[in-house]
Every structure is written in structure tokens, then in C-alpha cells.
Amino acid sequence: MTALKLRKWDSAQHLKTEEDMALYMEACLQEAGDDAAKALGTIARAKGMSQLSRVRAWAGTASTRRCQGRATPALPRS
């Protein structure tokens, strides 16, 4: 029997657009509750560290709006 070769999955490699990132963040919030630290790290790697503060601001707004039952805002533009 041959050994199965696996590669480590990195979600950041698959987050190409801002829509991808917003959907990923929303899915993480749904699955992990309000603990979005890992999702933010993945998005930061995908988008680049220069965008981290903008993504954090968006995540705070998204989390607040989600708790209040309002729509999640779009990710900030570069």
C-alpha cells in the first residue's frame, strides 16, 4: 500500500477577493462565535499586513451588527 501524501491547507491562499474574505469571516463567526482572531489572521495573511487595522475595524462592526440582527458591512476598500 502506498503512503498518502497530504499537504497542509492554508485558507489564505484561497481568499482572492474582498467578497471571499467577507464570506470567510462570516462563516468563521457562525462556526466559532465571536472568536474571530484566527480568521483575522488568515485574512491578514491573504490581504497583507498593511490592511490588518482596516479588517479589524470591519470585524468589530460585523460582529456588532450580527449581534443586533443587521446586515454585515462589506470589507473596507484598499
Q: Is residue 7 part of a domain?
A: no
Q: Which domain holds residue 26?
A: 16-67
The answer to whether position 42 is within a domain reads: yes
With CA atoms as reference, report the closest residue to 11 among 47, 59, 52: 47
Q: What is the mean pLDDT of residues 3-29?
A: 88
Residue 52 lies in a domain: yes
DSSP state of 3: P
Asked if residue 43 lies in contact with residue 29, where contact means CB atoms within 8 angstroms, the answer is no
Q: Closest Cα to residue 40, out of 68, 28, 31, 50?
A: 28
Instruction: Give the pLDDT confidence of 40-78 residue by residue, as tens digits.
Output: 888 888 877 556 656 666 666 665 555 555 555 555 555
Q: For residue 53, which of 18, 78, 22, 19 has the smallest C-alpha distance? A: 78
Domain count, the chain: 1
Residue 3 lies in a domain: no
Say if 35 falls within a structural domain. Answer: yes
Q: Tell me, yes or no, whether 59 lies in a domain.
A: yes
Cell (9 digits) for 26: 462570516
Q: Once rounded to an integer, what is the mean pLDDT over residues 11-37?
A: 84
